[in-house]
Chains A and B, each alone.
Chain A
Amino acid sequence: MIEFKNIEINYGNFAAIRNLNLEVKEGEFFTLLGPSGCGKTTTLRSLVGFVTPTSGSIFVKGADITNVPVEKREISMVFQNYALFPTMNVYENIAFGLRVKKMTKKQIDDEVRDIADKVDLNDEQLMKKVSELSGGQQQRVAIARALVLKPSILVMDEPLSNLDASLRVQLRKELKRIQKAFGITTIYVTHDQEEALTLSDRIAVFNKGIVEQAGTPYDIYNYSATEFVCNFIGDINKLAQPVLEKINLQSAKPFDLKKAAYVRTERVHTALKDTGKDFIQLKAKVVDIEYFGLYTKYAFDIDGAVIKNIEKEDGMTIYSIGDELDLYLHSSDIMQF
């Protein structure tokens, strides 16, 4: 459906995107994930047409759109701040693109009311000024305005970043519902890993203008391809050399001491019913406790090195600072780069 081929985007001497090659399938919810300044928004804007690649080509359904003007691409965008026109009411905002297309009043009215219904905006809200809407309602207007044009592709640039935490979670579900209902190919930009993992069919993790890994949320999380990806996604422990030496004493397959080794915090266990094969046992002492309600994060000292784990709040496992205990981790959960 969408193909970025050998895309390079430079701003003067600064390379914003380097040799980008990506494919997005039809109907997919594809997320560009990465820290600020990694090139994810630049990639998105090059697809929409606000940025022209220095070299390379972008294809949509096999057609090269690299030099097609923004207004001719038929790719609708939902902006980070929604970019709703403040001088128009909700109805006029949604109708804007249809008016540009010179549709009849009747057609415009039908289309606007139809899309408003689908995104749960009622007649009263349609006549309101955009400034009178809540953040969530504004987002629905922005989505309606984008979808009413029946684009082949919908792109969203961090559309949840302006909202508070609880509304973000609620609207995440809404976004997923709307995307599935319309079956529209969606490219989504975010720096929030939780958003990316919960929403996406596939994710591309960006770092300094290159794609470090593209894959399903499960693969990205469990089989991180690079040290950057494993550090960026989730909560992780970097294993210090003395700890790795101890692990090597017990592990069937020794780890390379010269390479960085990581294990996710939830894969460090304080108790196991069945230690099973390849579980490594390490003597540790509790040095710090952070209570989060749903879970507790513990920091353990192992011969001067610190390892963290999380324990679900089940009302059973409670440790105190200074407690000595055994930690268990499986050799297959250790990632090396």
Chain B
Amino acid sequence: MNVVDKIKGQLSSKKLIGIIIGIFLTWFIVAFLVYPNLNLLKLTFFADGRLSLEPFQKLLHSSRALKSLLHSVVLAVSLVVTVNIVGIFLVLVTDYFDIRGAKLLRLGYMTTLIYSGIVLVSGYKFIYGDHGVITNFLVQLFPSLDVTWFKGYWAVLFVMTFAVTSNHVIFLSNAIQKVDYQTIESARNMGASTFYILRRVVFPVLKPTIFAVTILLFLTGLGAVSAPIVLGGRDFQTINPMILSFGQSVTSRDMAALLAIILGVFTLLLLTVMRKIEKGGHYVSISKVKSELKKQKINNKLANAIVHAIAYLLFLIYVMPVIIIVLFSFSDSYSITTSTLSWNHFTFDNYAKLFTQASDFKPYLVSIVYSAVSAVIVVILTLVVARILHKYNHKLSTVLEYAMLIPWLLPSTLIALGLIITYDSPKLIILNNVLTGTVWILLIGYVIVQIPFTLRLLRAAFFSIDHSLEDASKNLGAGTFYTLRRVLLPIIFPSIMAVLALNFNGHLADYDLAVFLYHPLFEPLGIVIKNSSTDQVSVDAKAMVFVYSVILMIISSLTLYLVYGRKAK
């Protein structure tokens, strides 16, 4: 009997697969989730083998860096205020008060879900920017208006307020639906007015959700990338654009790393606070027969008219960029240059070019490949982990779960920088290969940042399966893998497809991570769209951005419909 046979005899195939999976997961976690981030810390504070606070000194002496920190905090705080005001108003309009056309309004307010990030920022810039439709209109009214009015702090705040409110609305809308209508009826029965009920009965129920989304908003503000880069101008740059700027030079990489670490510490602190709030729990209706929320009429006619007017004004702000992007995608170069619309300049040429010219289609292809491959890899990886967590409940599985959630605690900038700095020279852990500057590093980056969301969804899907189904399968004679293949996976298949679609969609127009990790010969869509948002590019490139954006909107709408729309029916 040779050695292989001996080992075979000692190990069952199940154990062997278990060992291989264990080794692979340990390698993956160490190589991509732990080591790059620790290495970043080491290179920042222990560059010469001993603790050095030099990066702090450099930071304190850099007015640009300090300003960017201040700007990020200012943006985060402002965003908390503006998004809460707009978000709560939108939820009240669509879910709480009886407003005419509420369904249409909701559809309008949700448009930012189909074109987020760099696409949205570029869209807003096209409307409100130097030669934008709105700017042209305003200049006709006020000839002395500076055409570069839409930049800096206010422009960033304006765009980000509308960009992130949709998510805010989804959370709050879910929370408001949980208000037991009988509590409102009983308050009314005791003589309370509409606004008193809103303040004393409804808002307290929403409070925990508002706190939680406020923290997420703060993090969004701190981590802003696209909006400050495109609209911030020289005077309003925040942490992430500064990290990007410092990261490009070897001499200031330590500053970039320190800024990324500071952002990471902020994120950790705020997420800890959020966990505490979540642990505090949400209010749960104690009614045995909970009744559905009915929309409240605003009895005061003036108040009703004002609410309607603001609701429709916000609707216009939301839908205008979408309509204008779609219209200009069918316009020729004259229309785009002059920001005017006319039937005479209507054309399908832009779309035709996308599908006939390889150079125009290439960014799409690059993004589709990156998004699809990373989505598939991350789903396979997290399926294995989720199954381990579902099946085994011991210390090692807890360690595995926490390790896989590391990217949730770290901003993507920090993850990107860790990968770039760590793998810019051959490292044994990746078989003496270099990743920085290769096409692989962006793929790895996408996989890493998608892990926490995917794991949380798939873990929840596994844990929602009735345990007795697995027991029944075994009782009927099926083995572990047969049970997994024939019973468990078919049950969670819809969740797998949903998370695949969401991950694919989420990175199709990504800019924030791509800007750090992309390969210059394989520019993804996000980078191309951002580059086309400057005035220096050709009008053809601008036209192509409209086409890219419209197709992205269609893909996003389809994805969202397939994942959420059909469920809602």
Report which A residues bind B (CB closer than 8 A).
Answer: 48, 50, 70-72, 75-77, 79-81, 83-88, 96-97, 100-101, 145, 149
Sampled A-B contacts (27; CB under 8 Å): A50-B471, A70-B475, A71-B474, A71-B475, A71-B477, A76-B475, A77-B471, A79-B472, A83-B466, A83-B468, A83-B469, A83-B471, A85-B472, A85-B473, A85-B490, A85-B491, A87-B490, A87-B493, A96-B476, A96-B486, A97-B476, A97-B478, A100-B476, A100-B482, A101-B477, A145-B476, A149-B477
B482, A83: Cβ atoms closer than 8 Å: no
Docked-complex contact B477 and A100, CB < 8 angstroms? yes
Task: List residues of chain B with CB within 8 A of the CB of A86.
Answer: 469, 491
Residues of chain A with a CB closer than 8 A to B476's CB: 71, 76, 96-97, 100, 145, 149
Q: Do residues B487 and A85 form an inter-chain contact, with CB atoms below 8 A?
A: yes
Contact of A71 with B479 in the complex, beta carbons under 8 Å:
yes
- Interface residues in B436-482 (C-beta closer than 8 Å to A): 466, 468-469, 471-479, 482
A77 neighbours in B (Cβ, 8 Å): 471-472, 475
A-B CB proximity, top 10 nearest: A97-B476, A83-B472, A83-B468, A87-B490, A100-B477, A70-B474, A79-B468, A71-B477, A77-B475, A100-B478
Tally of B interface residues using CB under 8 Å: 18
Q: Give the residues in chain A near B477, CB-CB below 8 Å.
A: 71-72, 97, 100-101, 149
Q: Which residue of B lies closest to A101 (CB)?
A: B477
State the CA gap A80–B477 with chains docked (Å).
19
Q: How many inter-chain contacts with C-beta < 8 Å in the A-B complex?
A: 59
A88 to chain B minimum Cβ distance, whole angstroms, is: 8
List 15 other contacts, CB 8 Å, given A83-B471, A87-B491, A97-B477.
Answer: A48-B475, A50-B471, A50-B474, A75-B475, A77-B475, A79-B468, A80-B468, A85-B490, A86-B469, A87-B487, A87-B493, A88-B490, A96-B486, A100-B482, A101-B477
CB nearest to B470 among chain A residues = A83
Within 8 A of A (CB), among B293-326: none
Minimal beta-carbon separation of A308 from chain B (angstroms): 31
Shortest Cβ distance from residue A47 to the other chain B in the assembled complex, whole angstroms: 11
In the complex, which residues 347-406 of chain B have their Cβ closer than 8 Å to any Cβ of chain A?
none
* Docked pose: A84 CA to B491 CA in angstroms: 12
Bound complex: CA A196 to CA B469 (Å): 26
Most chain B CB inside 10 Å of its own CB: which residue of A75, A81, A87: A87
Interface centre among A71, A75, A88, A149 (most CB of B within 10 A): A71
A81, B466: Cα distance in complex, Å: 9
B487 neighbours in A (Cβ, 8 Å): 85, 87
From A79, A84, A145, A149, give the contact of B471 (CB < 8 A): A79
Considering the complex, which residues of chain B in the window 474-523 have a beta carbon less than 8 Å from any beta carbon of chain A?
Answer: 474-479, 482, 486-487, 490-491, 493
Asked if A71 meets B478 with Cβ closer than 8 Å, knowing A50-B471, A83-B472, the reply is: yes
Q: Are B468 and A81 in contact (CB under 8 A)?
A: yes
Residues of B within 8 A of A96 (CB): 473, 476, 478, 486
Contacting residues, chain A, for B491 (C-beta < 8 A): 85-87
Q: Collect the chain A residues with CB atoms within 8 Å of residue B486's CB.
A: 96
| Chain B residues whose CB sits within 8 angstroms of the CB of A100 once the complex forms | 476-478, 482
Q: How far is the CA of A96 from the CA of B479 in the complex (A)?
A: 12
Give the shortest distance, in Å, between A218 (CB) and chain B (any CB). Answer: 33
Residues of B within 8 A of A83 (CB): 466, 468-469, 471-472
Residues of A within 8 A of B471 (CB): 50, 70, 77, 79, 83
State the CA gap A70–B493 with chains docked (Å). 26
Shortest C-beta distance, B40 to chain A (Å), equals 43
Task: Provide the bound-state CA to CA distance between A96 and B482, in Å.
Answer: 11
What residues of chain B lie closer than 8 Å to A48, measured between beta carbons? 475
When chains A and B are docked, how far (Å) is the Cα of A14 from the Cα of B190? 52
- Minimal beta-carbon separation of B191 from chain A (angstroms): 43
**Shortest beta-carbon distance from A49 to chain B in Å:** 8
